[in-house]
A and B are shown apart, each in its own frame.
Chain A
Amino acid sequence: MVITKSGGDPGAGAYIQIRGQNTINGNAQPLFIVDGIPVSNSNINDGSAAGNAIVQQSRINDINPEDIESMEVLKGASAAALWGTRAANGVIVITTKKGKDSKGKVNISFKSAVSFDKVNKMPPLQTTYGQGNNGRFIQGNKYSYGDLIADRTGGPDTYITDPTASGYQGYVTFPDGTKRYAIASGTAANPHGGKNSKDIYDHASDVFQTGHYTDNALNISGGNARSNFAISYSNLSQDGIIKAFSNYQRNTARVNVGSQFTEWFRASANVAYTKVGSSRVQQGDNLDGILLGGTRTPPDFNNQYYTGTYTNESGQVFNDAHVSYRNPLGIDQNTIYSNPVWNINNNRNTSDVDRITGNVELNITPKSWLSITGRTGIDNYTDARLERFARNSASFLTGLLSKNWITEKQFNTDVFANANKTFSNNFSGSVLVGVNYNSRRYASLSDQITSLIVPTAPDILTNALNSNLTAKNYNQLIRTYAYYAQAEVQAYNMLFLTLTGRSESASTFGSKTNSSFFFPSAALAWQFTKLKGLESSSILSFGKLRLTWGQVGIQPQPYQNFTTFAPASFGDSYANGVSAASSLYGGGYVRSTTAGNDYLSPERKTESEVGVDLRFLNNRFTFSGTYYNNNTKDVILSLPVPYETGYAVRNINAAELSNKGLELDASADIFPQSAFKWNLSANFSLNRNKVLSLAGATAYTLPDSYAGQSLIQGQPFGIFYGTDFLKDESGKYKLDANGFPQGGTSNEVVGNPNPKWRGGLGSTFSYKGVSLYLLFDKVYGNDFYNGTRGALYLIGTHGDVGNTSVAPTGGIKDYNGNTIAAGTKFQGNIQDFGAGPVALTQAWYQGPGTSFSSASTKQFVEDGGSTRLREVTLNYSLRSPGFRKFTHLSSVDFALTGRNVVLWTKYTGTDPEVSITGPSLSRGQDWFTNPNTKSLLFSIKINY
């Protein structure tokens, strides 16, 4: 299982993957079950937020971890057959803490933790060359290919303050009273122009701080022989690593009660309420993204002066100026890239979630061999989101306010009967039959205004002309019902056979396909150490062989069976597009470019696995290994079709995917007899996936891909499908006359984001009440696309382009064919592509050498493998009889934990664990992604 955080933002969503990718269209995340009720783990990136790259939360984060008694991961299809068409990506079953028979005593436990978090890795930035172009300083220029900062005279800059002088542009007055005027550009004679200052600024720390959170949880529980209760409350309060508008507040409360009223009747109820409020900043491919504006800022520009009052040439004064490196005087409505410091103080994106989950369960035991259970639960939440771009923001010069309301409501009911029978000493069995009904509603409503009339008004949607208001809504209802049965047989205390079957109907199946589908599974376990000869073995203390086979379905997304018409709107990669919603255009509609399909049926995943569990020397050493092989047929694909058919995609049961893998776990108790204990545990897993068929299409490019992540027949899932430099038949680069490679014209496979293997190594030392836990993990052999590096090459701020090189004897050619004379210093690097060394200068980095060009995707594909010290925990537990007697407490536990402590990676960007597109299927890409964090956490837990 792979869990990957989408970013270092508070509450950021996570990508969870169990045994490889099994589907293309829709949710590839596992199903979460809490106390028998499926709950939402949505990570909805909708509304304008999707375009503005705000990291959204995964809804499973709403659970208080202190409420969790146990968590079980059901990986295989057979284990999941009981959970139906949403279980194909695995099931995570969470059971919450219930009260126990405490003989009337009330157990109170209080846990308090404080954590300090900071950025763990940032892309390298250069600090040697100033703002400008072609070696000359130019104020407000987009690049950092300017003058050598060290060669400047030092001291304050020479401003153009005389209104009659050429180049006078007015001035900005900062809040501290200082003023900034235009600075003369460099010339051939004086490349520095009026820029004298040698000050440089670290833009990696412009907006970041040491974030922190406090997490307090109180659990009270108790019970007697018949009834029990558990009550909990928790509060998590986090200030993120970004200085402003980055926080997360979670309050949870839970009540779990149960009572055995009579011999045959038991009732229980669990209710939980969660309230989450958070603010997030923008990231990614977005003019207001904090990393985009920050890392593109020249090293000699101070982002801390981000606002002020601009006075123009004719003396007109504009308040609330946005001062950024492209707009150093804060000229009104002229921002271009935002200053990240301005951004975090002006643009606000909040989310407020209210969520209630709960279930009621009744158990009836009419006969000792028969029990009947009815369980009904709900999971309802609303998420009220706000996005606000202040006036003078880069993306919305006149401001934007957007409000989105998202609600999800899930209702689930199971009724099942379980019968047990013991036939003889050697045979026993049980049968379970049940029925399930599930209903999920999703609705969203969003309203957005641009061109705010009063820029400082509160968040009201009337603050714009009607022509600048857009509104939309979306509704979705999915229902399923299913009948299921499970039979278990035990023989001779060593053979265990489980058979399951589920017949399911879902409202999302096409109207012209079968209304129900059947999914069977079988599992056989043989505990061979119960055999006569092995029973008393002193070496092998436990041995079990497992064989399972099962099928599980994946539901289509709703409404894919219709071809629809929608209000016309047309966009473009580099412009915001037009929409028929304008009164100018009369509200036209056009046919959707997605062709509907009445024959959509569920995807069907078949998995078989074989495994072994072994324990040796009285359980001192354990080993478990599993090999699995799964295959998903009829994978629903938005199959790209030639546009000239009139459609862009057709939803069709078309593709076939497979995953095979190996999972190994081992543990060892090194000093079983001593007071000093050392436990080692290790795990290793590998997964190989392959796209077996794509229904005739050569390639299917995943949505949200920056490196062309695609499905191609015969290739692993989501490989990078992009360009490489032009090659000849033998695969060598075709170099131009100057010795530089040339841009490729069509795509090929240039990388694979899927790791070759993953491994983990854990070690626990303990002595009496003290223990030290270390956990290392490793991801090996995965490619990562560093688009950020390629983009910063063009801008000139990347660490690599801050080098000063010296032309070797005989001179050296740059990309434009100009010769740099021997001994001349230049900004850039020297590289040999096969025809002798050439100079990589601004011309190269702004031509084929940038990820903005189509020349070569491959040059930015890096090794994304990593080894990390994931966790270090030092625990100290006070629970001696003397302590208990003295304090009347049962125990006090102290823990000091470091998370994500050390990262070893060849990857040159931020932590390769984060992903720009959140938990989407396009893996392994970096495009100005907000960085990941490392944390130091101290906690204390008091049990009464």
Chain B
Amino acid sequence: MGRYKSNSIHCKYTDAMKTSFSHKITIVLLSLILLSSCQDLFNESNIKSNPNAVTDVDVATLLSGTLLGVSMLHEDTDVRISAIWAGELNGLSRQHQTIASYIVSASTFGWSPLYPVASQARLIQTKADAVGDKWTKGVGQVLEALVIAKATDLYGDIPYSQAFDDVKYPTPVFDKQADVYTALQTVLDNAIQNLSAPAGLAFADQDFIYKGSVAKWKAAAYTLKARLYLHTGDYAKAVTNASSGIGSTAGDALTPHGTSQGVDDNQNYDFFRINRAGDTGFDGAYLPVLMQSRIKSANTKTDETALYNHYFKVGISTTGALDPNTADGMFTEDAPHPILTYYENQLILAEAQARLGVTDKALAALNSVRAGLSGGYINGKTMSTTGRKYDAYTLSDFDPAGIANPTKLATTQTALLYEIIAQRYIFFLMQYEAFNDVRRLEKASPKVQLSIPLYAGTQKPQRYIYPQNEINTNPNVPKPLPDQFTKIPIFQ
């Protein structure tokens, strides 16, 4: 009552009433209560504007917020489902147990925050244009490509050419996956061009990935281009781009994490240790089996014990369970999480060169990763020295009787490829690129695959189902709805 102003009062009806008032008390009462100019009542800052939110921010602040979204998209449920479907992780209870049986429906999946984050990346570019800045625009383009690449890799044909313009295209069409890949290469070309500008806005404080280093963003753009060329089988272009890509582990794009739950903790830690402890794990998964086969094996140049212990730990969720190592390994609360890395860049180079038949360069690239692992570095952390051995291979190790040819493949090229894809599989734990590989290698030539068993049934999951929300809102969703066992176009 205290904030009520006694000055206002009196609206239309008072004229009609006035004549009949014969008592002074009436007038006193009315002047206390009636209102003189009603519209003025709405002239309050808490009405004219939203007191709880801002209505605009500058491009650097938006960049920082968008980076966080991109980071989350690399540690989210979609990534964990991809790890399960790649056979790296197993679902053991509740929802994830059924996901591991490949029981999913349209409502299992969602495009938020995926597309909203991509739209923030697009908004960065609009805001950068408004202030004439090339650098933030370039970063915005790299982020957009990262997110859209994830979308198309998991869903195939997706909306892109008409996306992010709700007024003009309220229900965007679905573009062919091949067109999306072409468009992404163009976006990344533009990003590289923008990032090559001689000057731009400083954003070191907001860039928690690269601290404002334009050179690192440029290298990351090349690595991403190389990844996309590898997917489409353009091995020569993959080599060219990877050669300009991330050149050392110092160029790794890693999301930093802290120890505050729900604020900055590693999201895999949060999932494995807090939110869904024991619901997933590595019992029954192929990854630990593969890694065990590289411990005390005929391959005397390799010992995966340290990495195995870095990834897994027994008995965290319950007695005897092979759990993610949330105690002192890859999934601690403050462990950084990879987005794009030097190791990936080198493994793209290795695989593309091997497929082109340039085995010596392929081997050199693979050995550069082994040199890094041998030093203990992985995704911003250092693994134990115990049982850590990654001596450089020579081509003769891949002879039919070579030490690094466990499946006795006939040619050096295929044996080397097997080692490269195994290394990729091991390295990409909790990156969706592992699931991309599993599907891509069914098609890539020469055909070399890991023998990953299925968790259930006879059909291998090939894609995510278009989300129920999309089916509800966009009539352009492909019909009939492709199920989880239908291959996406680039891997067909």
B338 an interface residue at 8 Å Cβ cutoff? no
Structural contact, B97 and A481, CB atoms closer than 8 A: no
Is the pair B116, A747 in contact by a Cβ cutoff of 8 Å? no
**Does A874 make an interface contact (CB < 8 A)?**
no
Option from A367, A507, A579, A746 in Cβ contact (under 8 Å) with B105: A746
Mark interface residues in A857-899 (1 if CB within 8 Å of B CB, else 0).
Answer: 0000000000000000000000000000000000000000000
A575 pairs with B35, CB closer than 8 A: no
Considering the complex, give the chain A residue whose CB is closest to the CB of B76. A572
**Structural contact, B11 and A564, CB atoms closer than 8 A:** no
A588 adjacent to B262 (CB under 8 Å):
no
B164 → chain A, closest Cβ, in Å? 5
Q: How far is the CA of A850 from the CA of B278 in the complex (A)?
A: 18
Which of A265, A585, A708 lies at the interface centre, i.e. has the most chain B CB atoms within 10 A of its CB? A585
Q: Is the CB of A586 within 8 A of B261?
A: no
CA distance A332 to B180 in the complex (A): 50
- Cβ of A585 and Cβ of B42 under 8 Å apart? no
CB distance from B322 to the nearest CB of A (A): 15
Which of A364, A485, A566, A574: most chain B Cβ within 10 A? A574
- Contact between chains at A366 and B53 (CB < 8 Å): no
Interface pick from A245-253, A601-609, A638-646 = A638-646
Q: Is A493 part of the contact surface with B, judged by Cβ < 8 Å?
A: no
- Contacts between chains A and B (CB distance < 8 A), count: 387
Within the assembled complex, what's the spacing in Å between the Cα atoms of A579 and B264? 6
Question: Given A185, A570, A575, A722, which contacts B68 in the complex, CB threshold below 8 Å?
Answer: A570
How many B residues, CB 8 Å from partner?
131
| List of B residues within 8 angstroms of A167 by Cβ | 319
A420 within 8 A of B: no
Q: Evaluate contact between B116 and A746: CB separation under 8 angstroms.
A: no
Contact present for A474 and B52 (CB under 8 Å): yes
Contact with B along A687-700 (1 / 0, CB 8 A): 00000000001111
B177 within 8 A of partner (CB): no
Residues of A within 8 A of B63 (CB): 588
Partner of A587, one of B55, B64, B274: B64
A435 contacts the other chain (CB 8 A): yes
List CB contacts (< 8 Å) of A828-849 with chain B. 846-848
From known contacts A362-B29, A578-B68, infer whether A564 and B55 are also in contact, taking CB-CB under 8 Å.
yes
Least Cβ–Cβ distance between B157 and chain A, in angstroms: 12
Does A467 lie within 8 Å of B260, measured CB to CB?
yes
Do A264 and B23 touch across chains, with their CB atoms under 8 A apart?
A: yes
With contact pairs A477-B46, A644-B159 given, residues A588 and B472 touching in the complex (Cβ less than 8 Å): no
Question: Contact at A644–B65, with CB atoms within 8 Å?
Answer: no
Residues in B neighbouring A362, C-beta threshold 8 A: 25, 29
Whether the Cβ atoms of A697 and B270 lie closer than 8 Å is no
In the assembled complex, the Cα of A169 lies from the Cα of B20 at a distance in Å of: 91
A683 part of interface (Cβ distance < 8 Å):
no
Q: Are B17 and A433 in contact (CB under 8 A)?
A: yes
**Which residues of A lie under 8 Å from residue B72 when comparing CB positions?**
570, 572, 577-578
B98 lies within 8 A of A854 (CB):
yes
Q: Please determine whether A642 and B277 come into contact, CB atoms closer than 8 angstroms.
A: no
Cβ of B69 < 8 Å from any Cβ of A?
A: yes
Task: Indicate if the CB atoms of B94 and A852 lie closer than 8 Å.
Answer: yes
Tell me the minimal C-beta distance from B363 to chain A in angstroms.
38
A374 surroundings in chain B (CB, below 8 A): 29-30, 32-33
In the complex the two chains form, is A852's CB within 8 Å of B97's CB? Answer: yes
Q: Enumerate chain B residues within 8 angstroms of A485, measured Cβ to Cβ.
A: 13
The 0/1 profile, CB within 8 Å of A marked 1, for residues 16-33 of chain B is 110011110110011011
A562 touches B261 (CB 8 A): no
User: Could you say which residues of chain A place their CB within 8 Å of the CB of B49?
Assistant: 562
Inter-chain CA distance A182–B103, complex, in Å, is: 35
Which B residues touch A593, using CB under 8 A? 112-113, 116
Across-interface contacts of B113 in A (CB, < 8 A): 570, 593
Q: Is A589 an interface residue (CB 8 A)?
A: yes
If A477-B44, A562-B50, A562-B55 touch, whether A585 touches B262 (CB-CB below 8 Å) is: no
Nearest B residue to A515 via CB reads B39
Q: A residues within 8 A CB of B207?
A: 586
A36 interface residue (CB < 8 Å to B): no
Please determine whether A415 and B33 come into contact, CB atoms closer than 8 angstroms.
Answer: yes
Does the CB pair B267–A572 fall under 8 Å? yes
CB-nearest residue of chain B to A698: B472
B393 within 8 A of A: no
Docked Cα-Cα span, A454 to B477, in Å, equals 54
Are A589 and B54 interface neighbours, CB within 8 A?
yes
| Cβ of A536 under 8 Å from chain B | no
Q: How far is the CB of B413 from chain A (nearest CB, A)?
A: 40
Q: Contact partner of B111 among A139, A476, A644, CB < 8 A? A: A644
- CB of B284, distance to nearest CB on chain A (Å): 13
Q: How far is the CB of B237 from chain A (nearest CB, A)?
A: 28
Nearest CB of A to B139, in Å: 13
With an 8 A cutoff between CB atoms, is A568 at the interface?
yes
Residues of chain A within 8 A (CB-CB) of B117 are: 570, 590
- Using CB atoms, name the residue of chain A closest to B270: A575
Does A573 make an interface contact (CB < 8 A)? yes
Complex: chain A residue closest to B257, CB-CB: A584
Q: Mark A90-126, 1 if CB is under 8 A from B, else 0.
A: 0000000000000000000000000000000000000
Q: Which of B26, B29, B30 contacts A366 (CB 8 A)?
A: B26
- The residue on B at minimum CB distance from A794 is B94
For residue B67, CB closer than 8 A to chain A, the reply is yes
**A142-B278, A559-B50, A643-B116 in contact; A169/B319 too (CB < 8 A)?**
yes
User: Inside 8 A of B470's CB, which chain A residues have their CB?
Assistant: 642-643
Q: Which residues of B contact A468 (CB under 8 A)?
A: 260, 263
Residue among A477, A505, A591 with the most chain B CB within 10 A? A591
> Measured between C-beta atoms, what is the minimum distance from B324 to chain A in Å?
13
In the assembled complex, which residues on chain A have CB atoms less than 8 Å from the CB atom of B115?
642-644, 646
Query: How far apart are the CA atoms of A641 and B112 in the complex, in Å?
Result: 11
B105 nearest CB across to chain A (Å): 4
Q: How far is the CA of A467 from the CA of B333 in the complex (A)?
A: 14
CA distance A698 to B123 in the complex (A): 28
Residues of B near A152 (CB, < 8 A) are none
Nearest chain A CB to B166's CB is how many angstroms away? Answer: 4
User: In chain B, residues 124-158, which have Cβ atoms closer than 8 Å to a Cβ of chain A?
Assistant: 158
> In chain B between 246 and 279, which residues have their CB closer than 8 angstroms to a CB of chain A?
256-265, 267-268, 270-271, 274-279
When C-beta atoms are compared, the residue in chain A nearest to B168 turns out to be A645
Q: Decide: B50 and A643 in contact? CB cutoff 8 A.
A: no
Given contacts A575-B76, A640-B469, contact A744 B105 (CB under 8 A): yes
> Max chain A CB contacts within 10 Å: which of B96, B101, B108?
B101
**CA A591 – CA B63 in complex, angstroms?**
11
- Identify B116's interface contact among A397, A473, A567, A647, CB under 8 A: A647
B51 in the interface (beta carbon within 8 A): yes
Return A292 CB to nearest CB of chain B, in Å.
12
> With A326-B318, A565-B54, A640-B469 given, is the CB distance from A645 to B164 under 8 Å?
yes
Contact B35 A437 (CB under 8 A): yes
| Chain B residues closer than 8 Å to A642, beta-carbon distance | 111, 115, 159, 170-172, 469-470, 473-474
Q: Contact at B11–A481, with CB atoms within 8 Å?
A: yes
CA distance A474 to B53 in the complex (A): 9
Q: Is A422 an interface residue (CB 8 A)?
A: no
B residues near A, CB below 8 A? Answer: 1, 3-4, 11-14, 16-17, 20-23, 25-26, 29-30, 32-35, 38-39, 41-42, 44, 46-47, 49-57, 61-69, 71-72, 75-77, 80, 93-98, 101, 103-108, 110-120, 122-123, 158-160, 162-166, 169-172, 205-208, 256-265, 267-268, 270-271, 274-279, 316-320, 456, 465, 468-474, 481, 483-484
Q: A572-B72, A641-B166, A722-B107 are in contact. List 7 more A-B contacts (CB 8 A).
A: A366-B23, A578-B267, A584-B258, A590-B120, A642-B172, A643-B112, A794-B93
26 pairs, CB–CB < 8 Å, chain A vs chain B = A142-B93, A336-B317, A364-B29, A435-B11, A451-B259, A475-B51, A475-B52, A476-B51, A479-B41, A565-B57, A572-B76, A572-B267, A578-B264, A584-B257, A585-B64, A585-B264, A587-B64, A590-B116, A643-B110, A645-B169, A646-B119, A646-B122, A698-B471, A848-B103, A854-B104, A854-B105
**Pairs of residues from A and B, 3 with the lowest C-beta to C-beta distance, nearest first:** A588-B64, A588-B65, A646-B119
